[in-house]
Chain A
């Protein structure tokens, strides 16, 4: 069994080199520990399988055939970033739908409870309400644009081009968040106007809790976008390092 013999001697001779090569890719992906772990295990398995299949191959041959760790890490990171961008856009859609539902429920409740604005407040309330509606539908439009952009630019020629396109989607999603934040702020002002002339009662819990829910949803979205932007900076740095390496 010459194959098994070669495999045995190889396994004793060079496991550290295989582990070090796999680690050189995985450590660049530490921003997502589960991705880094998975890549490390897949690369190690591949290299051992490659050496087992080609009985005379050394670790150096196997790693050379596998490719430049920097280049591969950039490709893994870009694929991961694309998936995260899609997930963040999906979260934004859920947030927008949830906000719409909460707003509609609160408005219906105002109608039922007859929590109307008084004559002095009505003019200001009308202006703020218009801003609220415009901001909300602007957010919906920006999100639709982000999704359309993601669908049209699914494939890019290079990691750098893909990162640029994903960055545009993040910008659109961040603008969508900004518009939603304006809309929620308008809701807070409109609710404050309704509360100002009323003594605090158990009824106030309903609009206040709906505002807290809206704020939490908008907070969740900005945390998600901020996390994505941080990862994007790291991935872009990885891709740029790769490009500089290639140029030199």
Chain B
């Protein structure tokens, strides 16, 4: 998603990552796959962008992480929502829904006015 839509996506990256981890603990690549799958392939950021966001959310206490060993024998960092992260997700989801409804209403009215 290049250009302005890409920038909009970056602005909501924390919410997107929290939502992707709501299904359960996951490593970075799995988070990206979950975002891609659940957005119907619409959200396709540079994959590396997710990791600074994961670090930031962990430092903010919204995620926890631990090293595990993958099937391939490679060390892998797995992230999970903390209780604070679940609360933050619920709060941000509510804010987003209000915002989305407001914009939807506004654009809908605009459409009616033009028609």
Listed in ascending order, the chain A residues whose CB lies under 8 Å from chain B are 7, 25, 38-39, 41-46, 48-50, 52-53, 65-68, 71-72, 75-76, 78-80, 82-83, 86, 155, 157
Contact = CB atoms under 8 A, between A and B. Distances in A.
Contact of A43 (B33, B51, B56, B59): B51
A46 B76 CA distance: 9
Contacts of B27: 45, 49
A67 B29 contact: no
Contacts of B51: 39, 42-43, 46, 72, 76
Contact of B74 (A45, A50, A78): A45
B48 A82 contact: no
Given A45-B76, A48-B72, A78 B52 contact: yes
Nearest to A74: B52
A66 B56 contact: no
In order of increasing CB-CB distance, the 9 nearest A-B pairs are A67-B46, A75-B52, A67-B48, A83-B59, A79-B56, A66-B48, A49-B29, A72-B48, A79-B55
A58 to B, nearest CB: 15
Given A42-B28, A45-B27, A45-B75, A66 B55 contact: no
Contacts of A76: 51-52, 55
Task: Specify the main secondary structure of chain A where it touches its partner.
Answer: helix
Task: Specify the main secondary structure of chain B where it touches its partner.
Answer: helix
B38 interface: no
Nearest to A162: B56
Given A46-B29, A52-B72, A75-B49, 4 more contacts: A45-B29, A49-B29, A50-B29, A50-B47
Nearest to A66: B48
28 contacts: A25-B48, A39-B51, A43-B51, A45-B28, A45-B29, A45-B77, A46-B28, A46-B29, A46-B48, A46-B51, A48-B72, A49-B70, A50-B29, A50-B47, A65-B47, A66-B48, A67-B48, A68-B46, A71-B46, A72-B51, A72-B52, A75-B49, A75-B52, A79-B56, A79-B59, A82-B56, A86-B59, A155-B14
Contacts of A43: 48, 51
B48 A38 contact: no
A90 to B, nearest CB: 13
Interface string B70-99: 101011110000000000000000000000
Nearest to B45: A67
Contacts of B74: 44-45, 48
